[in-house]
Structure formats: C-alpha cells, structure tokens
C-alpha cells in the first residue's frame, strides 16, 4: 500500500451532484467495458442508466454534458448518455415534464 489515493476510488465528498453522477456513470461504463466489446459496453451502460436513473438524474447529467462538455465522463459513459438522449428525445422530454421541473428540448425533438 503506497499511501497514494487510488485514482478510481470514489472521493469521500463530491463537490456537486453532477460529480457524483459522473462517477456513477463511469463506474457503470467500466463494468460493461470489462466485457471487452465497446458497442456492447455502450449499449449495456445506456440500458442500465435508462433502467435505474430517474428523470432528475438524467436532467442533471444532460445539463453537465451541455454545460461542461461532459467533463470527467469516460468515452463509453459519454457515448451511452448521448445515445440515450438521441434515441428517444420525445420520450425523455415527456418523462422530464412529468416531474414538474422545467426541461430543455432534447436535440432532434420537434414536438412542441
């Protein structure tokens, strides 16, 4: 044990919820990436995030991508989140609207 912090270890305190979501997305992506096939890793990561993250979490990670360019997200995590947003923008917009929170229009969503 070197006493140096493990770069993949979760920080004890996250400065923001966005940082926590980035960490979680990267952990999910790392799991699926360990199976060795990038397209399957992206799909598995996207499926897991869609199944287990709520609308508030999705809204925050989309905001992080829009505002900070997805800083800190590993490539598979970023691709998975972009895939989610691009695959069903109307559905995501409707789910976010149900929360009563203001939502931004997802790219490619021409619905009013």
pLDDT computed for residue 7 by the predictor: 53
pLDDT computed for residue 4 by the predictor: 42
Question: How far, in Å, CA of 85 to CA of 91, rounded?
Answer: 9
pLDDT computed for residue 12 by the predictor: 58
Answer whether residue 5 is part of any domain.
no
Report the domain count for the chain: 1
Answer whether residue 28 is part of any domain.
yes
The two tokens of residue 90 are 């109307």
Answer whether residue 108 is part of any domain.
no
Contact 33, 46 (CB under 8 A): no
Q: What is the pLDDT along the chain (112 residues), one digit of tens a residue?
A: 444 445 555 555 557 889 999 999 999 999 999 998 999 999 999 999 999 999 899 999 999 999 999 999 999 999 999 999 988 766 666 666 665 443 443 444 444 3
Answer whether residue 110 is part of any domain.
no
Answer whether residue 3 is part of any domain.
no
DSSP state of 81: H
Answer whether residue 9 is part of any domain.
no
Q: Which domain holds residue 62?
A: 17-98
pLDDT computed for residue 16 by the predictor: 85
Answer whether residue 92 is part of any domain.
yes
Contact 96, 60 (CB under 8 A): no
Angle between helices 55-68 and 17-33 (to 10 degrees): 90
Question: How far, in Å, CA of 69 to CA of 71, rounded?
Answer: 5
DSSP of 21-75: HHHHHHHHHHHHHTTS-HHHHHHHHHHHHHHH--HHHHHHHHHHHHHHTTTT--H
pLDDT computed for residue 70 by the predictor: 95
């Amino acid at each position: 044990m070197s006493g140096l912090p493990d770069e993949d270890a979760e920080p004890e305190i996250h400065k923001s919820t966005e940082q926590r979501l980035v960490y979680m997305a990267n952990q999910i992506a790392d799991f699926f990436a360990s199976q060795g096939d990038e397209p399957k890793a992206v799909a598995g990561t996207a499926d897991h995030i869609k199944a287990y993250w709520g609308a508030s979490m999705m809204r925050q990670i989309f905001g992080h991508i829009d505002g900070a360019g997805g800083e800190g997200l590993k490539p598979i995590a970023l691709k998975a989140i972009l895939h989610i947003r691009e695959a069903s923008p109307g559905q995501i917009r409707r789910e976010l609207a149900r929360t009563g929170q203001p939502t931004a229009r997802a790219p490619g969503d021409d619905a009013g």
